[in-house]
């Protein structure tokens, strides 16, 4: 897919205030610092579209972008900030839960995982939560350029083992590096494929 246009539409905390659910929607989420903004900027080829390194104190917002006038890309607030208060974590949980349950045009969630680390409970919990909700999702391993492909293979194998403990069917997995533009064609091709189904 060629990205002809990517524009920011709006940020809000309420599903009811999101754009009309008249186009397929693809949401991106992951632990803070996983490389979500960098990946969104890499996919859209717009350096400043998603803001990098948003601080944990900031309001947690659902950010909508319109791509090629035909689908929505959504930047969801991340999880796993160490310094977030219990109240803020609960607000995040409620907002995200409501979004996943109510956003009728949500087509697929991209769960970002840092390819350098062994499976982390917070990520596995989130994946299992999505699986239990029945929300379609794929996994995106980020920052491939930071280590050898052997290390990446071992992280992916470890996630595969962990997920097999609970699920018969495994989600699709993508390997990416925002730095080296790895995985761009694969992710955009996947979105195009789903959009034309």
- Contacting residues toward ligand GDP, per CB under 6 A: 30, 32-38, 52-53, 78, 142-143, 145-146, 177-179
Smallest gap from residue 113 Cβ to ligand GDP (A): 11
Other Cβ atoms closer than 10 A to 83: 9
- Residue pointed to by tokens 């907002």: 95
146: left (phi over 0), alpha (psi -120 to 50) or beta: alpha
Q: Please, are residues 109 and 130 in contact by the beta-carbon 8 Å criterion?
A: yes
Smallest gap from residue 38 Cβ to ligand GDP (A): 3
Smallest gap from residue 42 Cβ to ligand GDP (A): 8
Smallest gap from residue 77 Cβ to ligand GDP (A): 10
**Closer residue to ligand GDP (CB): 61 or 194:** 61
**Closer residue to ligand GDP (CB): 33 or 70:** 33
163: left (phi over 0), alpha (psi -120 to 50) or beta: alpha
Q: What span, in angstroms and rounded, lies between the C-alpha atoms of 69 and 67?
A: 5
Smallest gap from residue 39 Cβ to ligand GDP (A): 7
DSSP designation for 79:
B
DSSP designation for 182:
B
Q: What span, in angstroms and rounded, lies between the C-alpha atoms of 73 and 69?
A: 11
**Closer residue to ligand GDP (CB): 42 or 106:** 42
User: Which single residue brings its beta carbon nearest to ligand GDP?
Assistant: 35
**Closer residue to ligand GDP (CB): 30 or 171:** 30
Q: Please, are residues 19 and 65 in contact by the beta-carbon 8 Å criterion?
A: no
**Closer residue to ligand GDP (CB): 172 or 180:** 180
Q: What span, in angstroms and rounded, lies between the C-alpha atoms of 76 and 103?
A: 13
**Closer residue to ligand GDP (CB): 97 or 147:** 147
Smallest gap from residue 28 Cβ to ligand GDP (A): 9
């Amino acid at each position: 897919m060629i990205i002809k246009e990517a524009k920011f539409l709006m940020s809000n905390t309420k599903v009811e205030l999101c754009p009309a659910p008249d186009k397929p929607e693809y949401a991106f989420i992951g632990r803070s610092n996983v490389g979500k903004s960098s990946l969104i900027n890499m996919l859209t080829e717009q350096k400043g579209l998603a803001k990098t390194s948003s601080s944990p104190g900031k309001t947690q917002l659902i950010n909508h972008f319109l791509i090629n006038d035909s689908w929505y890309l959504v930047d969801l607030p991340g999880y796993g900030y160490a310094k977030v208060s219990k109240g803020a974590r609960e607000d995040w949980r409620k907002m995200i839960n409501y979004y996943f349950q109510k956003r009728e045009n949500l087509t697929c969630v991209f769960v970002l995982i840092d390819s350098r680390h062994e499976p982390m409970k917070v990520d596995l919990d989130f994946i299992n939560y999505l699986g239990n909700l029945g929300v379609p999702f794929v996994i995106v391993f980020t920052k491939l350029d930071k280590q050898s492909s052997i290390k990446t293979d071992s992280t992916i194998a470890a996630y595969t083992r962990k997920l097999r403990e609970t699920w018969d069917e495994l989600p699709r997995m993508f390997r990416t590096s925002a730095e080296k533009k790895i995985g761009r064609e694969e992710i955009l091709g996947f979105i195009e494929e789903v959009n034309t189904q």
